[in-house]
Structure 1
Amino acid sequence: MRAEPKTRSDFRHFHPITTRWMDNDAYGHVNNVVYYSWFDTAVNQFLITHGVLEIERSPVIGLVIETQCNYFASVAFPERVTAGIRVSKLGNSSVRYEVGIFREDEDAAAAQGHFVHVYVDRESRRPASIPAPMRALLQTIEVNQA
């Protein structure tokens, strides 16, 4: 079954992204690997901005264990891009983020996907519970799945 693009109303938080000349590939559009960087940037910026993640000091960190993306329309430099994020599953030590990439002011996603973070102790790398402040923040962008 082919995925259908989500719309902006499906997401709970938005992060503007600046495309760069180097993001374009030989075919004149943003290379597919760049989208994964945008996913990571949007989620981590959300966590950092809200004070629940300190990259160099947080005792619990998220490791990506799964990622996926569907592409619906090309994006190219110098278009403006916005990443919409939401949480579709929040477990004890894991979270599934869903991300939509929107061109300019378009309502339908040009690309969308997900990644799963498993939160681990920084030192031991063993699974750890998502800290309460982070969990509370993630709940603000959580959506119920039908």
Structure 2
Amino acid sequence: MSERSRPSARADYRMFRTIQTRWMDNDVYGHMNNVVHYSLFDTAVNGWLVENRLIDFHGGETVFFVVETGCRYFSELAFPDVVAAGIRVTKLGTSSVRYEIGLFRNDEDVVAAEGFFVHVFVDRATRKATVITPELRSALEAISA
């Protein structure tokens, strides 16, 4: 069995989005259910893409598909915590990008959970991978670790 990874700090992330937890995020154990962490990862990254007008989910010719995900849990999150979701790009390929997302509880400096997912940029009609546009690449490079 390998050693457990050490959690990251806020300073390790390039940008942040704030997300309020909801009562329904808690499970019977009184903390945030593990599937909610993945929803927060998705909300943080896709919110950033939309806010920066880097993707149009409804009318754009290209979209992102998630092809791989993972998460490590270090401490509990629960309603009514406010989550600061740190986002960084750790790998940028021709048609794919790997994001790492750290979920910070309230004002804490160490992540409660840290995950990743890989997006592949695809043509909406053909569903085939396509080259990341220069504008999108530039924005992704700006938050690269």
The answer, yes or no, to whether TM exceeds 0.5 is yes
- C-alpha deviation, 1:22, in angstroms: 0.3
Equivalent residue, structure 2, for 1:21: 23
Provide the aligned length of Structure 1 versus Structure 2.
Answer: 143
Equivalent residue, structure 1, for 2:119: 117
Quote the Cα distance in structure 1 between the aligned partners of 2:136 and 2:37. Answer: 24
Q: Which amino acid aligns with 1:140?
A: A
What TM-score do the two structures reach when normalised by structure 2? Answer: 0.97
Stretches of structure 1 that go unaligned for 5 or more consecutive residues are: none
Alpha-carbon contact 1:60-1:130 (below 8 Å) kept: no
Say which of 100, 108, 111 aligns to 2:110. Answer: 108
Equivalent residue, structure 1, for 2:134: 132
1:91 and 2:77 correspond? no
Quote the Cα distance in structure 2 between the aligned partners of 1:131 and 1:123. Answer: 17
Equivalent residue, structure 2, for 1:49: 51
Stretches of structure 2 that go unaligned for 5 or more consecutive residues are: none
Aligned residues: percent identity? 52
Quote the Cα distance in structure 2 between the aligned partners of 1:103 and 1:82. Answer: 7
Quote the Cα distance in structure 2 between the aligned partners of 1:58 and 1:98. Answer: 25
Quote the Cα distance in structure 2 between the aligned partners of 1:81 and 1:134. Answer: 26
* Poorly superposed stretches of 4+, deviation over 3 Å: none
What TM-score do the two structures reach when normalised by structure 1? Answer: 0.96
Post-superposition CA distance 1:45-89 (Å, at most 9, x none): 111111111110121111000000000000110011110000000
Quote the Cα distance in structure 2 between the aligned partners of 1:102 and 1:9. Answer: 12
Quote the Cα distance in structure 1 between the aligned partners of 2:98 and 2:8. Answer: 16
Equivalent residue, structure 2, for 1:67: 69
Post-superposition CA distance 1:85-136 (Å, at most 9, x none): 0000000000000000000100000000100001110000001011111111
Alpha-carbon contact 1:96-1:115 (below 8 Å) kept: yes
Quote the Cα distance in structure 2 between the aligned partners of 1:11 and 1:98. Answer: 9
